């Protein structure tokens, strides 16, 4: 059963309360999403580590229920 | 890291081959869009690589995900180090970081 965009966003924000999350359903089939996540938790982390943080937030759904989630992660710009 | 028998095989592959791509299908016949994208990027960059088809080996398919703590395939390794999946490799290719990484390691001409 594919995941809803809102549920993906909720899970990410639950793990990263400061996160700014934009989800795009690429094919309208609930199985291919693009997610842009901005959070201070990514500061100083490699891309792999940043994506792993998001995958952990999705509690094992990534690669299982959620087949394809294109990810762009970044820390907020220095203010 | 636990001594999952598959880990030993993975360690051997990524040690013996400078560039390894764990993928679905083969470089000639990729079986998934993401794997195919990474194959095309590696071909465009002009780096030799070993493609390993995880579809032929269910224990490797699961083992590689826990080895790298990364839930999806494809997975790219350069000189034994996990570089990323399709998104990261594409981002690095578009920014030129992939070419820099490979030329610094002498795997492609600068």
pLDDT band at residue B39, thresholds of 50, 70 and 90? very high
Measured between beta carbons, the chain A residues lying within 8 angstroms of B83 are 48
**pLDDT mean over B4-25:** 96
Report the alpha-carbon distance of residue A58 to residue B13 in Å, rounded: 30
CATH homologous superfamily for the domain B5-104: Glutaredoxin (3.40.30.10)
Per-residue model confidence (pLDDT) at position B98: 97
Question: Are residues B88 and A51, on separate chains, in Cβ contact within 8 Å?
Answer: yes
Question: E-strand spans in B1-110?
Answer: 19-23, 50-53, 75-78, 81-84
**Each residue of B41-67: pLDDT tens digit?**
999 999 999 999 999 999 999 999 999
Per-residue model confidence (pLDDT) at position B1: 53
The ipTM estimated for the assembled molecules is 0.83
Range with the poorest average pLDDT among B2-6, B23-27, B33-37, B79-83: B2-6
**pLDDT mean over A50-67:** 87
What are the domain boundaries of chain B?
A: 5-104
Per-residue model confidence (pLDDT) at position A62: 81
Range with the poorest average pLDDT among A29-33, A43-47, B38-42, B55-59: A29-33
Chain A residue closest to B76 (CA)?
Answer: A48
Per-residue model confidence (pLDDT) at position A1: 63
Of B72, B87, B92, the CB nearest to A63: B72
How is A29-76 classified by DSSP, letter by letter? SSSEEEEEEE-GGGTT--HHHHHHHHHHHTTT-BTTTB-EEEEEEEPP
Report the alpha-carbon distance of residue B48 to residue B23 in Å, rounded: 15
Residues B21 and B38: beta-carbon distance below 8 Å: yes
Question: Are residues A48 and B71, on separate chains, in Cβ contact within 8 Å?
Answer: no
Confirm whether pTM is higher than 0.95. Answer: no
């Amino acid at each position: 059963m594919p995941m809803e965009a809102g549920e993906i966003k909720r899970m990410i924000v639950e793990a990263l309360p400061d996160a700014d999350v934009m989800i795009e359903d690429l094919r309208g089939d609930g199985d291919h999403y693009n997610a842009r996540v901005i959070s201070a938790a990514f500061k100083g982390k490699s891309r792999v580590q940043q994506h792993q943080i998001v995958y952990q937030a999705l509690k094992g759904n990534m690669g299982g229920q959620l087949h394809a989630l294109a990810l762009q992660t970044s820390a907020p710009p220095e203010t | 890291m636990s001594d999952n028998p598959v880990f030993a095989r993975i360690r051997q592959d990524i040690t013996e081959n400078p560039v390894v791509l764990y993928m679905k299908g083969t470089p000639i016949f990729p079986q998934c869009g993401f794997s195919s994208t990474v194959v095309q990027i590696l071909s465009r960059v002009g780096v030799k690589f070993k493609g390993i088809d995880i579809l032929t080996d269910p224990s490797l398919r699961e083992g590689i995900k826990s080895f790298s703590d990364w839930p999806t395939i494809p997975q790219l390794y350069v000189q034994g180090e996990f570089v990323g999946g399709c998104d990261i490799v594409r981002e690095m290719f578009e920014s030129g970081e992939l070419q820099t990484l490979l030329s610094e390691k002498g795997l492609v001409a600068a």
